[in-house]
Structure 1
Amino acid sequence: MPEPETGSSDAPARHPHAATLVRLEKSSGSLAADAIARMDETLPWYRAMPPENRSWIGLVAQAGIAAFTEWFRHPEAPQAISTDVFGTAPRELTRAITLRQTVEMVRTTIEVMESAIDEVAAPGDESALREALLVYAREIAFATAQVYAQAAEARGAWDARLESLVVNAVLSGEADEGALSRAAALGWNSPEHVCVVLGTAPDGDSELTVEAIRRAARHAKLQVLTGVLGSRLVVVAGGSADPLRTARDLIGPFAAGPVVAGPVVGDLLSATRSAAAAAAGLRACAAWPDAPRPVLADDVLPERAMAGDSAARRQLVEEIYRPLEEAGSALLETLSVYLEQASSLEGAARMLFVHPNTVRYRLRRVTDVTGWSPSDVRSAFTLRIALILGRLADAGSPH
């Protein structure tokens, strides 16, 4: 093939190491084959790869040696090594091969080239070729880092979009199998306990806020899907059966203001109910300025009900009024009189014509049945709202 040799010999003729360059060009094929053989011999992950990926790696090795030849030909010219070397492989290869594996591949190729310096270099050019290879090895290392950094950046941006879609679907009540698939792609492994925590997002870079939530979640051993939607910071957290503790573990990145934890549910699809409760609680917190921070959505049931949350109204009736009704009329009557008498045992006993100890016993039964203590001011308020809503329901009024 005389024509390529003539074309290549004209350029090397003006090169200070023309003879070495010619020998390097002629040896490039054998050097690539030696590098592939060395990888097959020393890198177990390479042997275990599918043939298609191994062939792409072979092309990368060949491109790397060809790029070095061009580097040696024009050392003063700017070189786009990442394009010359890694541009031969598909983008998917950066997902199939880790950064560590790529470093091992590059190191093996450089070692093969270094071991062949005495054979490839013309007499007297050994030092020049070795020095050029050292500089090239540094540049190829930078190029490798650049390729993986760009891939990670693109993957991170894509993951952020996926995560935002999942979080928005949960918050809007539209979570479906598609949301589950997206969450799985983000590493969500379907924990048994899931809750949603809502609050105000801080000013500034939302990516920094999201990263702060992730750090807090790692420290608390929680799984999270999170995002800033408008002015709200939304966290779908999995891995804990205690929503209040979850909210406390994650509260650091939230801005000042109320932070509300929805009830624990069994999976991501059911998290729409937790999100709805948390969102309603966040809106209703304006009516309870002294609410603890964080607060459970169930602790804001009275305010939610008064703000028009139909789910809170149903919950108060079904979890407080109906159980008291089923436990006997005496409990409902005693609770109602006790609340009307400004929480006075003696006053309630006089109105009911019973001993105060009887009132005290019945109120303990109310606590056992509902979980709310009539003697606590906040619980008494919740019980009062539940009684009102229950009576309205019995009267046929909408609730």
Structure 2
Amino acid sequence: MNPPPPRHGTLPAQVSSQRTRVAILKRLRAVTGAMNTATLAAMESRHEWFGQLDAESRSWINVLARSGIDGFVNWLAGEDFSPETVFDAAPRAMAGRITLQQTVDLVRTTTDVVEEQIHLLLPRGDRQALQLGIVHYSREIAFGAANIYASAAEARGAWDSRIEATVIDAVVRAETDESVLSRASTLGWNTASRVVVAIAATPREANLDNLRRASTKLGLDLLTSPHGDRLVCIFGGEAITDSHEACQLVARLEPYFAEGPIVVGPAADGLAGAPQSARAAASGYRAAAAWPEGPRTMLSDDLLPERALSGDGHARRTLGGAIYQSLAASKELLETCVGFLDSGSSMEATSRALFIHPNTVRYRIKRIQEATGYNPTDAREAYVLRMAITLGRLQNS
């Protein structure tokens, strides 16, 4: 951000006599010390936050107040003046210790005190020109302070975006070591919170800010950054309890994502576990095109068959391992599931094929759902079970 051009004070335009201007400025310079002392006393009495600052910060505010009053004298004389130069006396770290609102309080209090001191310490003939000058000067200082804070915020935002992008890249690459957790901590991220990773198409830049605000309203912490043609989002916070709850929350953010599927990985413990969630979400996002009839926002586990067919070894092991083994643990459940699927999901046909009562079929189907989490009477879940049985038998062979 380029600094504004120098401004010139109001005294030359008000007082035509060079001799009179010199006399006014001489009398003003003689009382600047008293004005500075009165300003600090007013800060102490009017603002509680001033008394809570450490001694070093109070000392720098003293320097700033003195610099501001001296700058008023130079500006009033018509010398070249840039408002930002008043703040050059203080270190850059002061912008992190004193908020913009506190800086406004400082400018307002200094202006009020200088006006009061003009009435108390200077002749009546000097007051009108000096009062008009301090009003214009305080405006210049306020704009200068706003410019400094805006520049600091812009630089901080750019720096935070770079750190956020490196954290996202490390999660995608499964390289979440201590240095990555430290970078996330500098962004205010709670590294111990449960997380899920969601992947969608990259939206327009403006939508990312809206996504952040909407996530905050839902109680979700968010780290996000485009990664190629995909948007990778890490959601965390107390609102993340389990995968299904997280998926429902992410579904409420659909208007802020680009068109296309949104795939949510399983919940993980802390940012260190986020790579597993990211891997599953990325695999699901690649395979989502094979199930366009599915919901727009879905869990990666909802796409296990498509992921397995697209070459995801983790999905194959989940289907052929955990799901199949929970079914194969009972021979009668496995036989009933296969018979039910082979009979076109008909209770009566299954009972005839297995020589058991239809109520027995219903009872066993209920047990199959309890054991695997999938209901054979649902067409989609029956497809998952069929794929699990096929892969399980292949792995066991």
Query: So what's the TM-score if we normalise by structure 2?
Result: 0.89
Letter in 2 for 1:354: I
Matches within 5 A, 1:194-343: 194-202=195-203, 204=204, 206=205, 208-238=206-236, 239-241=239-241, 242-326=245-329, 328-343=330-345
C-alpha displacement at 1:351, in angstroms?
3.0
State the identity as a percent: 43
Distance in 2, Cα, partners of 1:54 & 1:365: 72
Distance in 2, Cα, partners of 1:380 & 1:287: 17
C-alpha displacement at 1:360, in angstroms?
2.4
Question: After the TM superposition, which of the residue ranges 124-133 and 166-175 deviates more from structure 2?
Answer: 166-175
Distance in 2, Cα, partners of 1:123 & 1:286: 82
Report if aligned partners of 2:347, 2:362 keep a CA contact under 8 Å in 1. Answer: yes
For 2:125, what is the secondary structure of its paired residue? coil
Residue 43 (1) aligns with residue 55 (2): no
Aligned pair partner of 2:383 in 381, 384, 398: 381
Distance in 1, Cα, partners of 2:378 & 2:221: 35
Cα distance per residue 1:293-321 (max 9 Å; x no partner): 11111100111111111111222233311
Distance in 2, Cα, partners of 1:86 & 1:56: 10
Partner of 1:370: 372
Residue 21 (1) aligns with residue 22 (2): no
C-alpha displacement at 1:277, in angstroms?
1.0
Matches within 5 A, 1:166-185: 166-185=167-186
Q: Number of paired residues?
A: 377
Report if aligned partners of 1:19, 1:122 keep a CA contact under 8 Å in 2. Answer: no
C-alpha displacement at 1:44, in angstroms?
2.7
Partner of 1:6: none
Distance in 1, Cα, partners of 2:232 & 2:214: 14
C-alpha displacement at 1:191, in angstroms?
6.3
Cα distance per residue 1:132-167 (max 9 Å; x no partner): 011111111111111111111111111111222222
Partner of 1:391: 393
Unpaired runs of 5+ residues, structure 1, are 1-11
C-alpha displacement at 1:119, in angstroms?
4.4
Question: After the TM superposition, which of the residue ranges 302-311 and 233-242 deviates more from structure 2?
Answer: 233-242
Distance in 2, Cα, partners of 1:336 & 1:58: 83
Report if aligned partners of 1:243, 1:296 keep a CA contact under 8 Å in 2. Answer: no
Distance in 1, Cα, partners of 2:285 & 2:347: 35
- Cα RMSD after superposing both structures: 2.0
Partner of 1:156: 157
Distance in 1, Cα, partners of 2:19 & 2:305: 86
Partner of 2:73: 69
C-alpha displacement at 1:86, in angstroms?
0.8
Letter in 1 for 2:326: P
Report if aligned partners of 2:320, 2:393 keep a CA contact under 8 Å in 1. Answer: no
Aligned pair partner of 1:59 in 50, 63, 66: 63
